[in-house]
Amino acid sequence: MIITTTPTVEGHPIKEYKGLVSGEVIFGMNFLKDFGASLRDFFGGRTESYEKAMLEGRETAQQEMVKRAEQMGANAIVGVSFGYETMGQGNSMIMISISGTAVVVG
C-alpha cells in the first residue's frame, strides 16, 4: 500500500478514486505518565512516555486506515493528514485521526 501526503503518486497515474478513508485511535493517559510529564514541563526535557504513546497511536490509526482502504480495493492512499485532539474530563484522553483518499494507481 502506497501512502502519501501528496495528491498524486509520481510515476503512478490514478486510475480510480475509491473514496475517503480514515483511522482513529482514542487512548487515555494514566496518572504516572501525567505526573512524569508535569515534572518534565517544570524542569524541561522530553516526555518519552507521551512520545511513545503518540507513536503507537499514529501507527495504529494508520493501520486502521490501510485496512479500510484495502477493503475498498485500493492500492494507495493519497492526500493523507494526521490530526490530534485532547478530550475527556481534564483532557485526559488523546484522539489521533488520520485520513486520506483511497485510490487505485497503475
Q: How far is CA 84 from the centre of its chain?
A: 8
**Domains of the chain (ranges plus CATH)?**
2-105 (3.30.110.70)
Nearest-5° Cα angle at 38, 35 to 42: 140
Which of these ranges, 15-24, 31-40, 93-102, has the smallest mean pLDDT?
31-40
Note if the pTM is more than 0.95: no
pLDDT digits (tens, 9 = 90+) for 22-65: 999 988 765 445 555 555 555 556 667 677 878 888 999 999 99
Q: What is the DSSP letter of 75?
A: S
Burial class (CB in 10 A: 0-12, 13-18, 19+), 57: buried
Q: Which one is predicted more confidently, 88 or 54?
A: 54
Q: What pLDDT band is residue 89 in, cutting at 50, 70 and 90? A: confident
